[in-house]
Chain A
């Protein structure tokens, strides 16, 4: 057992729902107790879908357990077929139904339905949402895709987008434009927007674009093996990655193409002088492996940030993230426990977090700005406007999204200049930081009596370090958004040298020591 407060991923059958809800003409019969229908609201509320997810829940109750839950399943299956007339159905069990071992797959097969029935085995007590989506999509492809003749024109499939995905809707559009510039037409986008009959002709494409490995890698591997379709492995998020992706596509198509980059603004926005203040901003990254990998590269190479820590919550990609961390010279954090993520952030004191909605809340609590780069999703992650992550427009969107929570260049200087002004009090914070700010009560009176030294350290574990009053006062002059880091560095610096009292000199010696 593991005590969990908030989770990054739902159970695997929610992953299966993301696949089914993204598709058309497919129905999911889920053996599940009353209450599991909560998952519908993820789609209708968070994603604002205007249709119910195509899921029939058998809704068994305690009184059914002694008698015949298998009959209940077959009944639900038959009614779902008759009412919704899907082209194919997937059947499976949620965590509770897994325990009663009714074997939905076996039951459905005996019913002789005139459509393909695809059984799902999703171990609820071992695996999670992303696995559920990947495995479900793989099973659908394995059961439905048929060998077929390749299209006359060079074409590809875009694989991986699902319902409830982080910006999947707009990524498809952006990617389709870029592929069109490369002379590649899109055969099928799946699972999102596809029907079982379209899945049947996946084999007509010349290659596959693996857009999100989390939800499509198993299918991509199988299609490569069975239909000899190569697949791209570069995820085109960020300028460099998009250019690499284009090269990868060209290596498949064998024909050079001029890709229109007119819409790409990130490089100039990043080079223009106003962005100088971004240099060396210390950022911490956390999310799903795909978005963290892409964001790390953007952060370092395209924004000029310093990556001080990174990690992911999906263990399936732990190896990739460890390799990435090694490349960046930082410790990888592979965990699905948000308390561990919080303490890592607290220890590193980054100037910015690039994370999920969980890290956004951690950031709020610690007073560190955060931009969201990955699922799990929130209603805010489904903006009305066009807002992709991939391709040229994706790079533009990412630039804007990441600098939005930061204190801007000139503003940073003004804060410094007016740090003693009572209305521009640094504890009031920047206006858009909302929650962390406190209202200053008035100008602090001139000369206050000297205070005795006291322990203001929040991380007092490394020996007892005392801040002398003058040093504490000096510390307060440092802008609030780097003060936490300055305090931590100074204390580390002092304790490493066996210094127990921090004076103004210690503060500046530490500053010089850590100067970049």
Chain B
């Protein structure tokens, strides 16, 4: 399959979408800090928020991670709400204390939260002011991870978007990969692309501030994650072109993603075949092992990370599953359109009214339900096997070498349900 994947009849790009609003059982964008701070090793994320924000971060972080974290919360108190001028002074003081204690910090993100947005603390003004105070040693940026504006992975989108305006300008024809992936996966992607003769390959976000990529009219952008719509638009405004492709999950997704890039960079079919043949075969073999437990089984996605559509495409096409409902918090057809073209699903839903969706799930009794941590045990107690969605953003699942692991993540709850001989 060396040609770009052609659009097949039966895709769901133009199918009606069930749009719901009501109670949403999702994280807010602050949660992205949990993986972003591990990726950007000289960055600190300072949430300007409430005790709830601090509590969320420590609860979402796998209940508690006690490595010296590069994130914290400036908890607003009564007096900060009374006068905004004072709040800015307080913030300056806390930032000065923090940077004095952590001289290794080169990038500081002021992260807006629900309360800071509601009382309208202007963090962009604060970031400008603090950049002037702490230049050239520290660059201060701001974005909002608030729940009133962002859902879970949109926090990463907002963070990367905030970095776009300060990227240096280049006229070079370069490939820019966008999305914070574990190093092991990122390295695999870069080496595959380099083997195809594509380069130089840059990555946003870079591991360190001094490796920040440049952008310009000849930059070709390939997104690594389906939730980076605002970042993509910001890069387009800097002149970059976005390469449309299915996302690199599974053998088929990875091949289609590489193929789309290879076409832009004029890689010939023979080279493409030579570079991808072996890893494609490995991926297919690894997927086949897990597929034994997945084929013919039904799956139901609650909205969580915006990975739902590409993952449903992988599970239905490569693992033989049947998608009853694919719920996503937000559907950006400009990004997931190519995946939707390949996907057949009973229902595509956007947004959430959790009680109504639970009613649909219980009625459908899927073999596997992908949902957040708040719903998983209650559904298991009702006899439904579940897969925690959050693991899909914490675990290396992209590209050929992880395709088997990705299928395995979905197979494990089914295997477990099959082996356990104790009734609950």
Which residues on A are within 8 Å of B, measured CB to CB? 1-7, 9-11, 13-14, 33-42, 44-46, 48-52, 56-62, 65, 76, 79, 83, 94-96, 99-100, 123-126, 128, 357, 361, 364, 378-379
Can you give 24 A-B contacts (C-beta < 8 A)?
A1-B74, A3-B98, A4-B75, A33-B28, A34-B24, A35-B147, A36-B56, A36-B147, A37-B24, A37-B27, A38-B56, A44-B376, A45-B63, A45-B377, A48-B377, A52-B374, A62-B148, A79-B355, A83-B355, A96-B52, A99-B81, A123-B78, A125-B50, A125-B80
Q: Are A378 and B28 in contact (CB under 8 A)?
A: no
Which residues on B are within 8 Å of A, measured CB to CB? 22-31, 46, 48, 50-52, 54-56, 58-60, 63-64, 66, 69, 71-78, 80-81, 87, 90-91, 93-94, 97-98, 114-115, 117-119, 146-149, 151, 355, 372-378, 380-381
CB < 8 Å neighbour of A7 from B30, B31, B58, B90: B58
Q: A11-B55, A51-B381, A96-B148 are in contact. Are A5 and B69 (CB under 8 A)?
A: yes
Alpha-carbon distance between A378 and B69 when the two chains are bound, in angstroms: 19
Minimum C-beta distance from A81 to chain B (A): 13
Q: Are A99 and B59 in contact (CB under 8 A)?
A: no
Q: A52-B374, A96-B118 are in contact. Are A38 and B74 (CB under 8 A)?
A: no
Q: For residue A59, which residues in chain B have a CB less than 8 angstroms away from its CB? A: 22-24
Alpha-carbon distance between A129 and B56 when the two chains are bound, in angstroms: 13
Q: Are A52 and B26 in contact (CB under 8 A)?
A: no
Minimum C-beta distance from A43 to chain B (A): 8
Q: Are B28 and A126 in contact (CB under 8 A)?
A: no
Minimum C-beta distance from A160 to chain B (A): 22
Q: For residue B373, which residues in chain A have a CB less than 8 angstroms away from its CB? A: 40-41, 44-45
Q: Are B148 and A38 in contact (CB under 8 A)?
A: no
Alpha-carbon distance between A404 and B27 when the two chains are bound, in angstroms: 38
CB < 8 Å neighbour of A1 from B23, B27, B91, B147: B91
Minimum C-beta distance from A441 to chain B (A): 27
Q: For residue A83, which residues in chain B have a CB less than 8 angstroms away from its CB? A: 355
Name the CB-closest residue of B to A96: B114
Q: For residue B55, which residues in chain A have a CB less than 8 angstroms away from its CB? A: 7, 10-11, 14, 39
CB < 8 Å neighbour of B115 from A2, A96, A128: A96
Q: Are A35 and B27 in contact (CB under 8 A)?
A: yes
Q: Are B374 and A37 in contact (CB under 8 A)?
A: yes
Name the CB-closest residue of B to A40: B374
Q: Are A41 and B59 in contact (CB under 8 A)?
A: yes
Name the CB-closest residue of B to A64: B148
| Chain A CB within 10 A, most for which of B64, B147, B373 | B147
CB < 8 Å neighbour of B59 from A38, A51, A56, A61: A38
Alpha-carbon distance between A172 and B35 when the two chains are bound, in angstroms: 40
Alpha-carbon distance between A57 and B28 when the two chains are bound, in angstroms: 14
Alpha-carbon distance between A1 and B77 when the two chains are bound, in angstroms: 6
CB < 8 Å neighbour of B64 from A2, A56, A357: A357
Q: For residue B72, which residues in chain A have a CB less than 8 angstroms away from its CB? A: 3-5
Q: A35-B27, A65-B118, A124-B50 are in contact. Are A50 and B56 (CB under 8 A)?
A: no
Minimum C-beta distance from B353 to chain A (A): 9
Other 15 A-B pairs with CB < 8 A, given A10-B55, A41-B59, A60-B148: A1-B48, A2-B75, A4-B51, A5-B54, A5-B73, A7-B55, A34-B24, A36-B56, A38-B60, A46-B63, A50-B378, A57-B24, A96-B114, A96-B115, A125-B80
Q: Are A11 and B50 in contact (CB under 8 A)?
A: yes
Minimum C-beta distance from B157 to chain A (A): 15
Name the CB-closest residue of B to A83: B355
Q: For residue A14, which residues in chain B have a CB less than 8 angstroms away from its CB? A: 52, 55
